[in-house]
Structure 1
Amino acid sequence: MSDHRDRSCSSTRIWSGLLALGLAAGLLTAAPAAEARPRAPEKVPVAEGYGGAVATVDPDATAAGIEMLRRGGNAVDAAVAAAATLGVTEPYSAGIGGGGFFVFHDGRTGEVHTLDGRETAPAAMQADSFTEDGAPIPFAEAVTSGLSVGVPGTPATWETALERWGTVSMNRALSRATTVARRGFVVDETFRQQTADNAERFADFPATAELFLPDGELPEVGTRLRNPDLADTYRLMAREGADAITTGEVAEDVVATVQDPPLAEDSDRVARPGLMTLQDLAGYEVVDREPTVVGYRGLEVYGMAPPSSGGTTVGQALNMLEQVELGELDETQVLHRYLEASGIAFADRNRWVGDPEAVDVPVEELLSDEFAAERACLISPDSTLPRPIAPGSPDGDYADACPEPGEALGPAGPEGPSTTHLTTADRWGNVVSYTLTIEQTGGSGIVVPGRGFLLNNELTDFSFTDTQGGDDPNLPGPGKRPRSSMSPTIVLRDGEPWLALGSPGGATIITTVLQTLVNRVDLGMSLPEAVAAPRASERNGTSTQAEPGFETAELVALGHAFSATPEIGAATGVELLPDGRLQAVAEPERRGGGSAMVVDPAEPERRR
């Protein structure tokens, strides 16, 4: 399938003519009043056709992936090209200062592989590193600090994926993203609002303010933002690979920034120093994980194993839902059971899932049909379980078919609502579902001076103190990977790729993926309908978050409690349609809408 050869790059139509703008390096500049402002590429949320497909939150990133496919690259090449472009245009959600999880279906072998590119804690981190005098430090202070920065895994993930399954070099994969960073992208309302939401803390770090708050002002919609420092960093990566970030001068800059966050002289912000060293950076390794897999109504659903809780939690919930023929129930009952199964699965997630290198995670039992039956028996069609729900015991002893719940434990800590997801597919049957992140929207808020990228605050995904009655699997530790909710998913039907999807959104990622699958498989929605449908996210809390438009009245009558939230997640997916076309799907509205493209909208024979 792969020949690992580098293909030549030609200029792209999208960016032709932009050099005439003559923008000053690193500055955001509005066009003169007499000139029209640059136009952002159009966002189209659904595309159908042949030859390959890409769906992301951003049209520049989607176009980068499609260009790679059109020039003969495969789905892995397209995923890295799109991800690198998202590092430019969606820098508050992802980039080389973060990490992620990469799920790949190999069209040649039919196998599904996963890469764990999750950030790791420094070797000096201990279980009490997020406490002072025995109490957890304020969460906001942890977020914007060097202490929250995990060792980035994204550069090594890209390099590993390309070397194993790609057909182009890092140089070729980063080419389009480097051009976008140098020439700039058009600011939209979502980017401006995200900047506004972070403006106060961005202003406290000169390198961050220079890049994202030029002249101390918010970027204007329709103006162009350039990042020449990131373009230079990408050029280093193109020559040296991931070593350009984990060793050498960039690594020294990263560690210096983490250990002594470069605050403005007049700032009174508490930005705690971090623990990362050059040895931590140089020692980072991507980990091969066996994917999780469950059968669901004749489908094979593959996901990401721990330290992600996505595969186990989505899989366990699906196993519980399969105990009943949901297709025979009305929509209220389907959604009721979806919410109950989600709440139960989150109770078990919080108690049992962490980094498998540091704690014993009973993955096989969590995904067993026997454990699912034991937990599903708690679900009543007429009422809800009291919240919080107690965790079960995935111990292999299921003699008591429906044991009484034990003691409820505390909720897990908060997770940042940002992150991004992309999905790619090619004409050879290769499929990628890739979720990557820098955690909070804006990550730590700290740009590495002179390098053009934000550092993550991923270590805040650890529990700051024990929330699980003495057995919290997600406490910090040396070299440990914090538990994640990222849920990149690939679904096979009859052994062939049928559907791939994922979403950003912190812990709501799990419920977004789960509900989208229920919408598509059990409620008979098309993938665009399943993605667009109003969402609710039940995570074993005192109330369930629900978007506007999600019908709650009949569910409230069953005992559910809801709290309003503007939006949940921002999914992308690709489905193989019965007639052989690929359908790429992104959000129509959430996070400003996403972008879906295919290589060729017309059947090749008919086009000729």
Structure 2
Amino acid sequence: MPHLGRRLGAVTAALAMSVTTGALASPASAHPRQADNVEKRPTATGYGGAVSTVDADASAAAIEILRKGGNAVDAAVAAAATLGVTEPYSAGIGGGGYFVFYDAKRGKVSTIDGRETAPAAMPRNAFIDPASPADKPVAYPFRKQATSGMSVGVPGTPATWERALDRWGSMDLADALEPAIDVAQDGFVVDETFRLQTAENQDRFAPFAATRELFLPGGAPPAVGTVFTNADLAETYRILGHKGVDEFYEGPIAEEIVSTVRNAPSSVDAKVPVPGPAGVMTTEDLDDYEALDQDPTHVNYRGYDVYGMAPSSSGGTTVGEALNILEVFDLPALANDKPKVLHHYLEASALAFADRGKYVGDPAFVDVPTEELLDPVFGKERACEINPNRAATKPVAAGDVAYDGVCPAKPAALSDASDTENINTTNLTVSDKWGNVVEYTLTIEQTGGSGIVVPGRGFILNNELTDFSPVYSETDPNRIQPGKRPRSSMSPTIVLKDGEPFVALGSPGGSTIITTVLQTLINRIDLGMNIQDALAAPRASQRNTANVSAEQAFIDAPYGKDLATRYGHTFTAAGAPGTSAAEIGAATAIEFLPDGRTVAAAEPTRRGGGSAMVVEPSWHK
């Protein structure tokens, strides 16, 4: 029986349409897992644990695990695996991510770095057009870089699930994967978001036979209202559950991944849009992969302890530095002057992004000054650069981490404002009845990843290696190097107040992830919005570029117009209307109330709307 999940918006249309496989279920006869939570809601309040994702099937999978006695980690893996089925263009076992965990028993936040790595044979000119001059190398167009075996990093998601369950879980992987297997086998109802994402990638998917077969049935995107099944992925999950993730990194699946990457159709003709060069990954690269235990980043912002992801992600350092800059200003006292608060947010973002570009990369290869970037004294010095009444000319200069807390007489050299990350990813937030919390961001990079499906396995491989700077420079912390993890902006964040969870949040969106998390925190803490409104509010993203990328609703709002006329900010729309690029992020969050309830919040409209659920809704009390 097909799962309706977040596809409920398509049910009416589906009743009048044929389906690709199986039979369409009505909402009343949906899988028991969804029970009274079957209706997709962006907000839920209650007890016993909560979840927020972009997809109702994924949220329902987490709730099922929680109701069976599993903890937040078990439920997070179940939700992530289900997103690999229903959100295959954003996440899956062909990618990687960052896992942040609050252990209620120990009162401690820990993290796992499950970022993809470059193969040992990764050349520094991997994405350079060979026809360009040697002294002035020119990269292939991004779409060609991304649609290639060369773009595929060694996946980290299966290793992340295994490590998280080993450290903190109460179930084994087979049990955690059961809900996702059911959804993959039974199918889900295609909605407009899934159809649009498929259509936007049709030319990228077409060169790869396995991708065409799975995602372009009959040569076209699946129609809204049809049922999409993925029996190959269901079987892959069964193998991982019963035999372990060694099957992925050492067994037959590893060999198939390598064969797919190295033998993917390719063209080095710059005039051919897709695909790009074949890859160089080996089975040794997969066998050598490790998900890394890491300490989180930490800053204190107005009495809240904010924990994030340390490098190789730039999320924790950039969000943390921006908060340290903003700490200098009494923004809550300015809450009635929203444009002024948002002006400071945009300016602090630009400064933190300047430092991100100059200093942050994989710490196994680059000496990243994480402690200095997160020092409140450095933040105070950087705050000197903000004119409270006028936007600075962008890009702004990077700061000097040999700081003394005194306002500098002149700025340092301008930082490179280039940005290689694309807009897609997915995020989930889970809590349980014991007070444990998981914030997990996972991805295959851009929408559709590399476009390459491993034949017979049902999952798309990532294109994460395009997150490296394509033109090699010895001074660039994000330069291509074998075995290295490309810099990421994923920013899973857990905030504590007096040692207890206050809010957990994260988002997809490439480098706009950082600004989405930051803006949501400013909305909640400084502007006093509730978490639902803080998440839903129109977004703007200043990443140290001449123009601020913003959703049209932000540009058109009175405060957006005020920011342009009064402060001199220049805005450009985030993307063309009707495309997935028009929206910034698709965030999730959970807030923990003083009375013991939790509020799960998801997007009301972005990416088709998210799904917030709780184990026991308040109205059951």
Indicate whether the TM-score tops 0.5. Answer: yes
Alignment of 1:276-291 (within 5 A): 276-291=281-296
* Contact 1:38 1:224 (8 Å CA) reproduced: no
Identify which of 339, 346, 349 aligns with 1:332. Answer: 339
Q: Give, in angstroms, the shift of residue 414 of structure 1.
A: 2.3
AA at the equivalent of 2:198: T
Q: Determine if the alignment matches structure 1 residue 534 to structure 2 residue 500.
A: no
Q: Determine if the alignment matches structure 1 residue 559 to structure 2 residue 568.
A: yes
Alignment of 1:497-512 (within 5 A): 497-512=501-516
Q: Distance in 1 between matches of 2:165 and 2:211?
A: 30
Alignment of 1:273-422 (within 5 A): 273-329=278-334, 330-395=337-402, 397-398=403-404, 400-422=406-428
Q: Determine if the alignment matches structure 1 residue 119 to structure 2 residue 119.
A: no
**Which residue in the other structure is 2:39 paired with?**
42
Q: Give, in angstroms, the shift of residue 272 of structure 1.
A: 1.1
Q: Give, in angstroms, the shift of residue 258 of structure 1.
A: 0.4
Q: Distance in 2 between matches of 1:35 and 1:213?
A: 25
**Which residue in the other structure is 1:574 paired with?**
590
AA at the equivalent of 2:439: S
* Contact 1:43 1:594 (8 Å CA) reproduced: yes
**Which residue in the other structure is 2:226 paired with?**
223
* Contact 2:550 2:572 (8 Å CA) reproduced: yes
Find the residue that maps to 2:552 and give its secondary structure. Answer: coil
**Which residue in the other structure is 2:485 paired with?**
481
* Contact 1:201 1:445 (8 Å CA) reproduced: yes
Q: Deviations over 1:192-219 (max 9, x none)?
A: 1000101112121110011111111221
* Contact 1:374 1:403 (8 Å CA) reproduced: no
Find the residue that maps to 2:82 and give its secondary structure. Answer: helix
Instruction: Compare 587-596 and 553-562 and name the one that shifted more.
Output: 553-562
The verdict on how the C-alpha distance between 1:298 and 1:192 changes in structure 2, with shifts beyond 3 A counting, is: same
The verdict on how the C-alpha distance between 1:43 and 1:14 changes in structure 2, with shifts beyond 3 A counting, is: closer
**Which residue in the other structure is 1:548 paired with?**
552
Q: Distance in 2 between matches of 1:288 and 1:513?
A: 23
Q: Give, in angstroms, the shift of residue 482 of structure 1.
A: 0.1
Q: Distance in 1 between matches of 2:393 and 2:493?
A: 30
The verdict on how the C-alpha distance between 1:379 and 1:578 changes in structure 2, with shifts beyond 3 A counting, is: same
Q: Distance in 2 between matches of 1:190 and 1:487?
A: 24
Q: Distance in 2 between matches of 1:30 and 1:152?
A: 30
Alignment of 1:19-98 (within 5 A): 29=20, 42-98=39-95
Q: Give, in angstroms, the shift of residue 223 of structure 1.
A: 1.1
Q: Distance in 1 between matches of 2:449 and 2:615?
A: 33
AA at the equivalent of 2:57: D
Find the residue that maps to 1:596 and give its secondary structure. Answer: strand
AA at the equivalent of 1:177: A
Q: Deviations over 1:354-377 (max 9, x none)?
A: 000000000000000111011001
Q: Deviations over 1:116-138 (max 9, x none)?
A: 00000001113333223433233
Q: Give, in angstroms, the shift of residue 603 of structure 1.
A: 7.4
Q: Distance in 1 between matches of 2:97 and 2:607?
A: 20
Q: Distance in 1 between matches of 2:3 and 2:274?
A: 45
* Contact 2:144 2:273 (8 Å CA) reproduced: no
* Contact 1:39 1:222 (8 Å CA) reproduced: no
**Which residue in the other structure is 1:22 paired with?**
none
Q: Determine if the alignment matches structure 1 residue 185 to structure 2 residue 188.
A: yes
Q: Deviations over 1:234-255 (max 9, x none)?
A: 0110112211211111111100
**Which residue in the other structure is 2:260 paired with?**
257
The verdict on how the C-alpha distance between 1:33 and 1:157 changes in structure 2, with shifts beyond 3 A counting, is: closer
The verdict on how the C-alpha distance between 1:90 and 1:411 changes in structure 2, with shifts beyond 3 A counting, is: same
Q: Distance in 1 between matches of 2:465 and 2:266?
A: 20
The verdict on how the C-alpha distance between 1:299 and 1:275 changes in structure 2, with shifts beyond 3 A counting, is: same
The verdict on how the C-alpha distance between 1:433 and 1:268 changes in structure 2, with shifts beyond 3 A counting, is: closer
Q: Determine if the alignment matches structure 1 residue 424 to structure 2 residue 430.
A: yes
TM-score (norm 2): 0.90
**Number of residue pairs matched by the alignment:** 579
Identify which of 601, 611, 619 aligns with 1:585. Answer: 601
Q: Determine if the alignment matches structure 1 residue 460 to structure 2 residue 466.
A: yes
Q: Distance in 2 between matches of 1:549 and 1:217?
A: 32
Q: Distance in 1 between matches of 2:259 and 2:29?
A: 37
Alignment of 1:77-156 (within 5 A): 77-131=74-128, 132=130, 133=134, 134-156=137-159
* Contact 2:3 2:30 (8 Å CA) reproduced: no
Q: Distance in 1 between matches of 2:24 and 2:543?
A: 50
Find the residue that maps to 1:534 and give its secondary structure. Answer: coil
AA at the equivalent of 2:542: E
The verdict on how the C-alpha distance between 1:576 and 1:269 changes in structure 2, with shifts beyond 3 A counting, is: closer
AA at the equivalent of 2:67: R
Q: Give, in angstroms, the shift of residue 344 of structure 1.
A: 0.4
Find the residue that maps to 1:136 and give its secondary structure. Answer: coil
Q: Distance in 1 between matches of 2:44 and 2:553?
A: 25
**Which residue in the other structure is 1:449 paired with?**
455
Alignment of 1:200-211 (within 5 A): 200-211=203-214
Q: Distance in 1 between matches of 2:435 and 2:127?
A: 45
Q: Deviations over 1:548-570 (max 9, x none)?
A: 22132211121111001221111
RMSD: 2.3
Q: Give, in angstroms, the shift of residue 271 of structure 1.
A: 3.3
Q: Distance in 1 between matches of 2:169 and 2:22?
A: 40
**Which residue in the other structure is 2:9 paired with?**
none
AA at the equivalent of 2:561: A
Q: Percent identity?
A: 59
Find the residue that maps to 1:147 and give its secondary structure. Answer: helix
Q: Distance in 1 between matches of 2:360 and 2:467?
A: 13
Find the residue that maps to 1:96 and give its secondary structure. Answer: coil
Q: Give, in angstroms, the shift of residue 268 of structure 1.
A: 8.6
Q: Give, in angstroms, the shift of residue 326 of structure 1.
A: 0.3
The verdict on how the C-alpha distance between 1:120 and 1:584 changes in structure 2, with shifts beyond 3 A counting, is: same
* Contact 1:63 1:597 (8 Å CA) reproduced: yes
TM-score (norm 1): 0.92
**Which residue in the other structure is 1:6 paired with?**
none
Q: Give, in angstroms, the shift of residue 269 of structure 1.
A: 4.0
The verdict on how the C-alpha distance between 1:73 and 1:554 changes in structure 2, with shifts beyond 3 A counting, is: same
Instruction: Compare 36-45 and 586-595 and name the one that shifted more.
Output: 36-45
Q: Distance in 2 between matches of 1:403 and 1:448?
A: 56
**Which residue in the other structure is 2:34 paired with?**
none
Q: Give, in angstroms, the shift of residue 539 of structure 1.
A: 0.3
Q: Deviations over 1:388-436 (max 9, x none)?
A: 10101112x3164333112213322321111000000001010000000
Find the residue that maps to 2:201 and give its secondary structure. Answer: helix
AA at the equivalent of 2:217: P
